[in-house]
A and B are shown apart, each in its own frame.
Chain A
């Protein structure tokens, strides 16, 4: 390789500098995971008081967006408005009436993660925010 003794160290330094923001963030003391306020109060669904989320917490954090899209298509296109979770419990497929019935604080729940991850979904242009914000 022509001028390898300059090119290879140069390339290594460039990659190091280019990714520096990630490294400083991950290893700095300031970095911490987003702390969500999870609801504690039980809410009644299908005549049963529930405190646990629809699916396990980790699965919900990773897949809630795809689940909501599937809920929408099932409810609107196929008239299937009940979701049977993997543990057999039934839920109405409704963002406003199911999710936000427990997660009454959008600012402390939705927005915290979405802001940290720099995503801006437009759910709330139409869907009504829960009253827990006020």
Chain B
């Protein structure tokens, strides 16, 4: 009995060591881009004063949807990563009948808020949606089973479900980015694949400075400097999700 126990401990120790060594070796074979942008907590600031009409917003929506192969489907099966709506709908828990006219008529960009406490991540059964190091909420479409719990959990309606094969509805396929398939949920990614290569998100690039993007934890970042000087609002902050998209009114 004594000998076999000793043998068991030896084997257990050796195999733990072998596993640790194997894991370390696999890790060494991968690295990130040196030009990649890093942040503790990515956040977006939208200067809504610079967007009054749907025509101002269309080029930005198109820039996003074009680079990510987002299909244009009309009606209730619509798929959207970034879209626009009125104050009343964007800030539904802050009804105000006495808004100034320009705010009442203004359109607001809506997109995934990349919350600090994302309810979608908590409910995802297969772990397909998750938070990355920079605070982005990402989806691994390979793992998505299409249960749509995340769509029910998201208080911002940021997620769309592919009721049918989206490919026929993509006008011009960008060959550098995948499409999605029938039965998965998709949404804005804060352009994780562009940040990784040192580029700003597509909407930020297309906005002529009206949308700003940076690290909320860095006091010298553009988002912190802009937020320090301007009054801003977030959507449904009372829910405790701590959204990462700020609106300058």
Contacts and interface: CB of A to CB of B under 8 A. Distances in A.
Interface of A: 70, 72, 74, 76-86, 90, 93, 96-97, 122, 125-128, 130-131
The majority secondary structure among interface residues of chain A is mixed
Contact of A77 (B26, B130, B176, B193): B130
A74 B30 CA distance: 8
A72 B142 contact: yes
Contact of B30 (A76, A86, A93, A97): A93
B26 A96 contact: no
A128 B130 contact: no
Interface stretch (B31-39, B79-87, B112-120): B31-39
Contacts, number: 61
A5 to B, nearest CB: 47
The majority secondary structure among interface residues of chain B is loop
Interface of B: 26, 28-33, 36, 69, 130, 132-134, 138, 140-142, 173-182, 192-193, 196
Contacts of B134: 79
A80 B140 contact: no
A84 B181 contact: no
Contacts of A90: 31
A84 B31 contact: yes
A82 B179 contact: no
B196 to A, nearest CB: 5
15 contacts: A79-B36, A81-B193, A83-B30, A84-B29, A84-B30, A96-B175, A96-B177, A96-B178, A97-B176, A122-B181, A126-B178, A128-B173, A128-B177, A128-B178, A131-B175
